[in-house]
Amino acid sequence: MLGSIRNIFSIPELRKRVIFTLALLAVYRAGGQIPNPGISSAALAEFWQAQKGNILGFIDMFSGQYMSRMTIFALGIMPYISASIILQLLQVVWPYLERLAKEGELGRKKITQYTRYGTIGICVIQAWAIALLLQKLTSPGGAPIVPNPGLPFQLLTVLTLTTGTVFVMWLGEQISERGIGNGISLIIFAGIVARFPAGLQSVLSGLKSGSWDPIKIIVIVVMMVAVIAFIVFVERGQRRIPVSYAKRVVGRKVYGGQSTHLPLRVNTGGVIPIIFAASIITIPGTIAQMIKFPVFQTIAKQFQLGMPLYNLLYVASIIFFTYFYVSIIFNPTDVADNLRKYGGFIPGIRPGKNTSDYIDTVLSRITLVGAVYLALLAVLPEFLMMGFKVQSIPFIGTFLETNLPKFVTQGLQVDFYFGGTSILIVVGVAMDTLQQIEAQLVMRHYDGFMRHGRIKGRRG
């Protein structure tokens, strides 16, 4: 491992890419410390203490906690991700975008340009909505978050937040082009990993004060390692469908005749289904929490973390959006047509519709495994933090609360600084980045990080 790291810095081009990437990530972290003008920091911090579990808290995770401090990078890269998802969905229903997606590099550049325009539009809408919301909000103690509300504050907030997101988007694109790894993913990665020192400091302080049990910490560490190993195992998992190519004689040359495989990943959708599900499932609770009526407050309570209704709808949404997103990004009919076009076939399956149906059947089965895997990752951190609040289940809630073990109903009562979505992003981005570095080393005849075998990223 140490030899491989030395090899990275012994290659001038790779060294420049790594240093360039680290420098831009440092710029991102430094710029995120600049606060947005016109906001009371003390009142804002008090307000965010009560926002865990709703859509604002979810967005805050992707912004690197800049949203909770309302810095100029408060919107983070989430508008860009939203615009990218919208463009992907539109490619299915808008023939013009579908044609662009099939035109190669020129079409991709055009779609990227539309994605940038969409990012700016989403930023303006979100920034204006945040400005209007901040003017109406107060801290639990009654202090206004915006001491001097009005149109100047709104315009300034829209300008700073939109400019901040555009700059972050530019940083991500520069990292992808001139650095190493996917820039957008690395920015999210940096925002999540930056929370680790605070979590470690909290654990050490708890050990010194005696509020943390050493046995509990050991259990958490073991579970963390097990979860990470499980994520790596599933992310590398794929179903390989054998594909053979018929021999073709063109002039004096013979083409084809070889056998290969069609890899179908277990987690084809990546982290996108969790983003979809979390965004949708937290909206009712967030809206109900803002409406000061008893009925809506009761609804808001049912959509809090750990509540049975929240967990049930969350898991169901993840499974639904996993199938939905996979159906958008992977078209078995197109794959079958391309195989037939180049003389490929699956042994024992007739080309054309039979091949398409076979691929669709296999994909549906492994997608179910991937959907359950994502649902487990999403629910596990909530279980560790607070357990499952089974008492609110009709008819059997009291019985379950009495007879189930305490760790099921109360969790481990710890702050889980890396949730399931966070771990999936961190591990996936790390695997992709290491895979790219490994490829650069092997291409230049250096040993990679593993002397036997290769590192396989999520796309490998």
Could you read off the pLDDT tens digit of each residue along the chain, which spans 460 residues? 566 667 777 778 888 888 898 999 999 888 888 888 888 877 777 777 655 544 555 566 666 667 777 888 888 888 888 888 888 878 878 888 888 877 777 888 888 899 999 999 999 988 888 888 888 877 777 778 888 888 888 899 999 999 999 999 999 889 988 888 888 888 888 887 877 777 777 777 777 777 677 777 787 788 788 888 888 888 888 888 888 887 666 666 666 567 888 888 888 888 778 877 876 776 666 666 566 667 766 766 776 666 777 788 888 988 998 998 888 888 888 888 888 887 788 888 888 889 999 999 999 999 999 999 988 888 877 776 666 777 667 777 677 777 777 766 666 666 555 566 777 788 888 888 887 787 777 776 655 555 555 555 554 4
Report which secondary-structure segment, H or E, holds 56: helix 55-62
Place of tokens 């925002």: 191
Contacts of 16 (CB under 8 A, 6+ apart): none
Question: What residue segments make up the domains of the chain, in order of their start?
Answer: 1-195, 237-417
Considering the domain delimited by 1-195, tell me its CATH architecture.
Answer: Orthogonal Bundle (1.10)
Determine contact, residues 346/241, Cβ cutoff 8 Å: yes
Is this prediction's pTM over 0.85? no
Distance CA 186, CA 433 (A): 9
Candidates 3.30.1280.10, 1.10.3370.10, 3.40.50.2000, 3.10.129.10; correct CATH number of 237-417?
1.10.3370.10
Q: Are strands 344-345 and 248-250 parallel, antiparallel or unpaired?
A: unpaired
Contacts of 272 (CB under 8 A, 6+ apart): 85, 321, 325
Residue ranges of E strands in 43-192: none
Report which secondary-structure segment, H or E, holds 248: strand 248-250
List alpha helices for 179-213, DSSP H: 183-193, 196-209
Determine contact, residues 196/395, Cβ cutoff 8 Å: no
The half-sphere exposure of 101 on its side-chain side, counting CA atoms within 13 A, is: 16
